[in-house]
Amino acid sequence: MILTGKAKLAGVMGWPVSHSRSPRLHGYWLRDYGIDGAYLPLSVAPENFTDALRALPLLGFSGTNVTVPHKEAALAAVDIVDENAQRIGAVNTIVVQEDGRLAGSNTDGFGFVENLAASASDWAADRPVVVLGAGGASRAIIVALIDIGVPEIRICNRTESRAAALADEFGGPCQVVPWAQRGSCQDDAGLLVNTTTLGMTGEAPLEIALERLPDDAVVTDLVYVPLMTPLLRAAAERGLRVVDGLGMLLHQARPGFAAWFGREPEVTYALRQFVIEDL
Ligand code: ATR
C-alpha cells in the first residue's frame, strides 16, 4: 500500500518492541482492506514513555497499542480510562480523541473470551474455571471471567500471596488454591487456563497432572510461542479440547483497529496462517 498524505497512523509502544507480532497482524488487515494507513513498531524506553504518549496527538496519530513494560504506566498517563482497564490495572489500547485527549482501554479479556467463543463456542461457562498464574495477564482473564458470570474461579499460583491478593480484590467467585494442588483442584472444571510464562520457548514446561479434568473440559494457554505448548500437547493427548493462545492475540487487536482505521477487522484462517509463518 502506498501511503497518501491522509494516511491514518497507529502503532505499538514497547521496550523492546522488536518481538511484537502486532505490526504484522495490523499490517495484514491494512493491506487486505486496502486502507490508507500504517501501524508501526514504536520502540520507547520507560523513561520516555509519557512524553512519547503525549506526542501522539501532536503527530496526528489515531492511537496506539501499549505492550510490556508500559501497560501499567499507560493507565496512569492517559486522560480517560474505561472501567474495565481500571479494574485490570493496565491499558493496552489508546485512542486519540477529537479533542486530543488519550482514552485508554484494555482488550486482553475481550480477546480471551472472543477466542474461546470462536474456537470452543460450547465451553461450559457455567462450571468452575482453574486459572494458573496471578500476574498481569491473570488479572485480565479473571476480570473477563467474572464479567461473563462463571460461578467459581480457582486461582492457583506459585506465590500463593499473589493469588490471595487477587481473590481479595475481586472477591465474588474467586478462590485461592495452593500451587501444589494444581493437579487436584480440577474437579467439575469446564476450563483450565495457563496465564504463567511456563511452557514458553526458553522457559521450563508447566508440570501439571490433567487426570482430574472432566472429559469435556477445555484447556487453553496464553503462551503462543510455541503454539502447541507442553500443556496443550498433554491435554490433547488426554483427548481434551485445546485452544492455543495465538487467537487471543488476534482478537484483542480488533477494537483498536476498528477505532483507528474505521473498519471492523475479521480474524480469519488466512490471517492466522500469516502470523504463524513468523512465530
Ligand atoms: P504477566 O504480566 O505476563 O502475567 P508476571 O506478572 O511476571 O507476568 O507473572 C508471571 C506469572 O508466571 C506469575 O503467576 C508467576 O508466578 P509467581 O507469582 O509465583 O512469580 C508465574 N511463573 C513464572 N515462572 C514460574 C515458575 N517457574 N513456576 C511457577 N510459576 C511461574
Report how far apart the first and last C-alpha atoms of the chain are (Å, whole number).
Answer: 24
Cβ-proximal residues to 5 (8 Å cutoff; 6+ apart), any chain: none
- Closest residue by CA, ligand 1 atom 11: 196
Do the beta carbons of residue 271 and residue 25 sit within 8 Å? yes
Q: Where are the alpha helices (DSSP H) in the chain?
A: 22-32, 49-59, 71-77, 83-88, 108-119, 136-147, 160-170, 230-237, 246-252, 254-261, 269-276
> How many Å lie between the centroid of ligand 1 and the Cα of residue 22?
23
Q: What is the pLDDT of residue 245?
A: 97
Look up residue 36 and give its three cell numbers: 490508507
Residue type, 220: T
Ligand 1: which residue has its CA nearest to atom 8? 135
Ligand 1 center from residue 256 Cα (angstroms) = 27
Mean pLDDT on 227-231: 98
- State CA 210 to chain mean position distance: 24
Instruction: Identify the burial level of 155 via C-beta atoms within 10 angstroms of its C-beta, where 0-12 means exposed, 13-18 middle and 19 or more buried.
Output: buried
Q: What is the mean pLDDT of residues 30-45?
A: 98
> Is 193 a pocket residue for ligand 1 (Cβ < 6 Å)?
no
pLDDT band at 1 (very low <50, low <70, confident <90, very high): confident
Residues classed as catalytic: 71
Whether the CB-CB separation of 17 and 39 falls below 8 Å is answered with: no
- Please identify, by atom number, the ligand 1 atom nearest to the C-alpha of residue 158: 19
Looking from the CA of 196 toward its CB, the CA atoms found within 13 Å total 24
- Residue 177, pLDDT above cutoff 80: yes
pTM of the model: 0.97
Q: Please report the pLDDT score of residue 271 as a whole number.
A: 98
Residues 127/151, Cβ–Cβ less than 8 Å: yes
Query: Is 5 buried (19+), middle (13-18) or exposed (0-12) by CB count in 10 A?
Result: exposed
Specify the ligand 1 atom closest to the Cα of 139.
Answer: 4
Cα–Cα distance, 63 to 272 (Å, whole number):
24
pLDDT value of residue 161: 98
Look over the chain and give the mean of its residue pLDDT values, rounded to a whole number. Answer: 98
Res. 46: pLDDT tops 90 = yes
Sheet strand arrangement including 80-81: 37-43, 8-14, 63-66, 93-96, 102-105, 80-81
Q: What is the DSSP string of 171-226?
A: -TTEEEEEGGGTTTS-TT-SEEEE-SSTTSTTSPPP----TTS-TT-EEEES--SS
C-beta of 41 in contact with ligand 1 (< 6 A): no
Ligand 1 centroid–CA 251 distance in Å is 23
Q: Band of the pLDDT at 35, cuts 50, 70, 90?
A: very high
Taking CA atoms only, the protein residue closest to ligand 1 atom 12 is 196
What is each CA distance from 104 to 22, 251, 259, in whole angstroms? 18, 17, 12
Residues 49-102 have pLDDT tens digits of 999 999 999 999 999 999 999 999 999 999 999 999 999 999 999 999 999 999
Q: Cell numbers at residue 183, please? A: 493437579
Q: Is the pLDDT of residue 10 over 80?
A: yes
Nine-digit cell string for 69? 513494560
- Ligand 1 centroid to 195 CA: how many Å? 8
Rounded mean pLDDT, 121-134: 97
Could you read off the pLDDT of 234-278 as tens digits, one per residue?
A: 999 999 999 999 999 999 999 999 999 999 999 999 999 999 999
Residue 214 is predicted with a pLDDT of 98
Q: Average pLDDT of 102-129?
A: 98
* Backbone conformation region of residue 111, classed left if phi is above 0, alpha if psi is from -120 to 50, else beta: alpha
